[in-house]
Structure 1
Amino acid sequence: GSYTVPSYRTSNFLDPKGRGLTTGYDSAVGLVPVGTSEELERENVKRYLESEGKLSLSITRVDGETGEFSGLFTGLQKSDTDMGSKEPLDLRITGELYGRVDKA
Structure 2
Amino acid sequence: MAASLQATTTLMQPTKVGVLSRIGVQLRLFPSVSKGFGLEPIVSGASLTCSLQIDHLKDLAQIVLSKTYMKVKGTGTANQCSTINGGVDSFAFKLGKYYAKKFYLEPTSFIIQAEGVSKNVPLEFQTTKLMTHLTYSLDGIEGSFKVSPNGTIKIEDKDGIDYAAVIVQLSSAEHVLFIFTIKQLVASGKLESFGGDFFVRSYHGSSFLDPKGKGGSTGYNNAVALPASIRGDEEELANFQPSDTDLGAKTPKDVKIIGI
Q: TM-score band (shorter)?
A: 0.3 to 0.5
| Between structures 1 and 2, the one with greater helix share | 1
How does the TM-score come out when normalised to structure 1?
A: 0.44
Structure showing greater relative contact order (alpha-carbon pairs closer than 8 Å, 6 or more residues apart): 1
How does the TM-score come out when normalised to structure 2?
A: 0.19
